Homo-oligomer: A and B are copies of this chain.
Amino acid sequence: MPRVELARSTGLSFPAISAITSKLMAEELLCEAETEAATLWPDDADEEDADGLNGRRRGRPAVLLTLNPEFGRIVAVSLRMNLIETLIADYSGSALAQSRLELTTRALDAAALCELVIAQIEAMLDATATPRHRLLGIGMALQGIVDADTGRHLWSPALSITDVDLAKPIREAFGVEVVMANDAVAVALSLVAAEPALAQGLTATLMVGHGIGMGIVVDGEARWGAGAGSEIGHVKLGSNGPQCRCGQRGCIEAHLADYALYRDARTFLDLPPAVSQQPSEAQMALLRARARAGDPRLEQLFRQAGHALAEAVATTISVLRPHHVILAGPGLEAFDMMRSAYEERLEQAVLPWLLKSTAIYVRPSESATIVDGMVRRTLRVVDRNHMETTE
């Protein structure tokens, strides 16, 4: 954050940093932070604070620079099964307001969906008194397949429509860039940003929840073939496994996603029906509670899920050879019940040399992680566009 640190991390010289930062400050994109924390020194964290001087040292103190939160705002929308979550953040990425709208998403056609999303975005702008020209970009995280080259939405379990350009009507309504991404990609970006070590090399984030998604981040950036998303959830574990909502059979998702677990549990257990086959968070919590109470059939169900998770991780490691694998998403709440089956299967399913050279992290993440990651992604795209236009 201080200029010295920027020079070190970018490898540029002081004069260069000085010139760049002063130009950006003239654009009101950057600003100097308050003098309070400003007197803390950059490399203070790892030294003892016992000098009683509150982290101060000799010499001119560094001036902290921050993104000017007032430079503009970003709206991120997460479109999931029966849920539209919206968040507005300032230019530094801090959330200003958010909303959740529950409805049966599969009942919507493309026009109705876009109308709803536009209304949600407008509500966010109104709630934070954001003038239109302060809106810099909109990010949409979608549960399903997105073609990153064209931005088109190809297929989603949450929607009955396929192969439509959802971004276009929204772009036209607000006149700003609309960034589309798979929701697992958004989660991946959020988690990678939280731990600097994960931003080095290739990090694969497996999101387990309503579906199974994967986001791939290379050196902190989400860039890839046809999108940073991977459809590992629809890799098959056998040619005649359980029915998946994609229409095919034996998908990893059909063994591991919460809708699959709930559906299978209902075949032998008395549980309330799920709305459009999508159990609520409360229903999944109930399922876990019953399993922990000691139902052997449920324990078996979670063991099978553990096997499916291990197969997913094994395939990821074998095909992608990532440096880091993150297991994330609400499905990990039940990881304790999957663990032994997962570990046992993983050993059998990956070459030991590969397993040894991959670090696996478990990070059960909240729902807000999606919109947080989407804000980051959108900010990056907006910044890139801004750079290109001012040059």
Contact = CB atoms under 8 A, between A and B. Distances in A.
A239 interface: yes
B231 A321 contact: yes
A323 B318 CA distance: 20
A318 B201 contact: no
A276 interface: no
Nearest to A214: B319
Interface stretch (A255-263, A349-357, A367-375): A349-357
Interface stretch (A86-94, A95-103, A309-317): A309-317
B155 A230 contact: no
B321 A248 contact: no
A288 interface: no
Interface string A177-209: 000000000000000000000000110000000
A320 B319 contact: yes
Nearest to A354: B231
Nearest to A248: B348
A351 B315 contact: no
Interface in A107-148: 145, 147
A222 to B, nearest CB: 13
A323 B202 contact: no
B349 A145 contact: no
A357 B147 contact: yes
A235 B321 contact: no
Contacts of A218: 225
Given A246-B351, A351-B155, A353-B154, A320 B201 contact: no
A385 interface: no
B225 A318 contact: no
Interface string A228-270: 0111101110110000001011000000000000000000000
B348 A230 contact: no
B319 A351 contact: no
A310 to B, nearest CB: 10
Contacts of A162: 353
Interface string A152-191: 0011000000110000000000000000000000000000
B349 A236 contact: yes
B145 A320 contact: no
A318 B145 contact: no
A321 B351 contact: no
A226 B351 contact: no
A340 B126 CA distance: 59
A236 B314 contact: yes
A227 interface: yes
A322 interface: yes
A318 B319 CA distance: 10
Contact of A320 (B225, B348, B358): B225
A230 B354 CA distance: 10
B202 A357 contact: no
B353 A232 contact: no
Interface core residue of A201, A229, A318, A322 (most chain B CB under 10 Å): A318
A224 interface: yes
Given A218-B225, A226-B321, 18 more contacts: A145-B354, A154-B357, A162-B353, A163-B353, A202-B225, A224-B321, A225-B322, A225-B323, A229-B321, A230-B320, A230-B321, A231-B354, A234-B354, A239-B345, A248-B348, A248-B349, A316-B319, A320-B320
21 contacts: A145-B351, A145-B353, A154-B353, A155-B351, A155-B353, A202-B225, A224-B321, A225-B320, A225-B323, A230-B319, A231-B318, A234-B350, A235-B314, A236-B311, A236-B314, A239-B345, A239-B349, A248-B348, A248-B351, A249-B348, A315-B315
